[in-house]
Structures are given as C-alpha cells and as structure tokens.
C-alpha cells in the first residue's frame, strides 16, 4: 500500500471539512475522488501535501507516518498539481518546469527529465521561451503537470485538472493522465467531471460533506444509481455526454 489515510479530521474557520475520512491508494493505481463543491476534496489533498494540518487521524506513506512539512512531503515522493493551474506567469515555460526540480541535484538528470517533459508535451517545447502567463488554459495545465513530473514523484495529486477547459482539451488532459499512469505514476485525482474521472479511475471514492459515502471501482460507480443521479445526471444526459465526447475525439 503506497498511501493510507485513517480517520482523518480537519477543521478550519469553524468548518469541519473532513470528518473521519479513511482511504488508501495502491502503487500503480489511478484513484479518483469525486464530490460537489465544498465536499472537502481539495482539503484532503492539502492535508496529504502538508499544507493543511489535521487535528486527528493519520496519513501513512509507504508504511510510515507522513510528515506535515510540505517541502519534506515533496522530498519523500509526493507532488501536488494545484487547482487553478497556478503557473509563475512572469517566468518562461522552461523556468517553470525547472522550478519543479528544485530539490533535485545533478544537472544531467534534470536535463533528461526536462527532455522527457517536452516529449510528453511537445507544445511546451515549442513555447519554452514564452512567459507562462501568455499560454492558453490547456497549455498552462500541461505546464503544471510537467512541472510536477520534474520532481520525479512516486505519487501525483491532481486537483481539478479539467477545470475551466474546453471539452476537446478535457479529453486531451485525461488522455495525458492515463499515459502518465501507464508510464508508472500512481495518481490520486480530485475531479468534478465525474464521468471522465470514473472512466479513468482504477478505484474511486465519493466524498460528501467531509465523509466517504461510496467507494468501489470506477466502472462500478459509473453504474451506481445514487452516483448517476447525483453526479452524472439522467441517462439521457449521460448518453449526450458520451456522444459529445465521441464527436470531440473525431475532431
């Protein structure tokens, strides 16, 4: 087991954001967390990353209690790709990527990782001298994923990677997520696009007001009537979404 969370409680500003949450992530999986706004999804990732401190519960990584210091979390092999992209707008694409390797030593190995990022995201190589703030939303999302990969993590935490993107770019980002996973990256994915998230997830959890209310394989939760009603819409809407996805791929 790569990551295990037991009875996690987090509160801030008078809000009990996580209420006894427990879950696990095995090596090689894509584990998806879905839920409405305010369910506690980002709080969960921030707790793992050491940005938010739980008042109860335990987070274990590779069998050891995870530190609550963010830079040490990165050093242990966990990287969070934040919601809203959060690029360094006044730095170039390449400078943003190199910041992802700030804890690493060895110029040759960092350069090799940079070339791997450009191979995965050819568009970033084309724009490597551009300021990150001038990129489109989809390009910025590629950049923050690439920046995360530069740290050579074992576990990547993705927070709403499709947020604000056009449908064709959403498809591209999810395809990239699957490619990264096939290359050996374990992924914990928080995502409001429930249909896409469940379709790529090895396993999934449904989070509601700080509590896990459903869990299972992505395929099983796609067929769960409660999940369909709350997060996937009616059968007709789901059918339309699938047809739209197919049309987008055809482009």
- pLDDT above 80 for 243: no
105 and 158 belong to one structural domain: no
Q: Tens digits of per-residue pLDDT, 193-235? A: 999 999 999 999 999 999 999 999 999 999 999 999 999 875 5
What pLDDT, on a 0 to 100 scale, did the predictor assign at position 233? Answer: 79
Sorting pLDDT into bands at 50, 70 and 90, what band is 251? very low
- Say whether both 95 and 118 belong to one domain: yes
Q: How confident is the model at residue 13 (pLDDT cuts 50, 70, 90)?
A: confident
Residues 69 and 105 in one domain: no
Q: Based on the domain organization, do 14 and 125 belong to the same domain?
A: no
Q: Could you give the number of structural domains in the chain?
A: 2
Residue with tokens 């450009």, as numbered in its chain: 118
- According to DSSP, the β-strands at 56-61 and 64-65 are antiparallel
| Same domain assignment for residues 66 and 140 | no
Q: Does one domain contain both 119 and 37?
A: no
Q: What is the pLDDT of residue 240?
A: 52
Residue in the structure block whose two tokens are 């999302």:
141
Domain range for 120 is 86-152
My answer on whether 140 and 204 are in the same domain is no
**Which long-range contacts (C-beta less than 8 Å, at least 24 apart) are formed by 95-98?**
96/132, 96/143, 96/147, 97/124, 97/143, 97/146, 97/147, 97/150, 98/150
pTM of the model: 0.90
Same domain, 68 and 174: yes
Give the domain-ending residue among 137, 152, 167: 152
Q: Please indicate, yes or no, whether residues 60 and 162 belong to a single structural domain of this protein.
A: yes
């Amino acid at each position: 087991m790569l990551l295990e969370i037991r009875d996690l409680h987090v509160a801030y500003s008078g809000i009990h954001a996580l209420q006894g949450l427990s879950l696990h992530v095995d090596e090689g999986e894509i584990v998806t967390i879905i839920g409405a706004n305010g369910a506690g999804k980002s709080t969960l990732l921030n707790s793992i990353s050491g940005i938010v401190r739980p008042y109860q519960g335990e987070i274990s990584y590779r069998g050891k209690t995870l530190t609550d210091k963010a830079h040490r979390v990165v050093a242990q092999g966990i990287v969070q790709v934040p919601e809203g992209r959060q690029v360094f707008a006044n730095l170039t694409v390449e400078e943003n990527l190199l910041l992802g390797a700030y804890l690493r030593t060895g110029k040759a190995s960092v350069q090799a990782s940079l070339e791997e990022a450009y191979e995965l995201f050819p568009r970033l190589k084309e724009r490597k001298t551009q300021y990150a703030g001038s990129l489109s939303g989809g390009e910025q999302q590629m950049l923050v994923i690439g920046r995360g990969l530069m740290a050579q993590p074992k576990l990547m935490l993705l927070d709403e990677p499709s947020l604000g993107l056009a449908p064709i770019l959403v498809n591209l980002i999810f395809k990239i997520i699957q490619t990264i996973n096939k290359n050996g990256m374990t992924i914990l994915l928080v995502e409001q696009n429930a249909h896409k998230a469940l379709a790529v997830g090895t396993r999934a959890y449904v989070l509601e007001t700080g509590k896990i209310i459903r869990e299972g394989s992505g395929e099983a939760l796609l067929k769960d009537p409660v999940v369909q009603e709350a997060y996937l819409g009616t059968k007709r809407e789901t059918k339309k979404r699938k047809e739209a996805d197919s049309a987008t791929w055809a482009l």
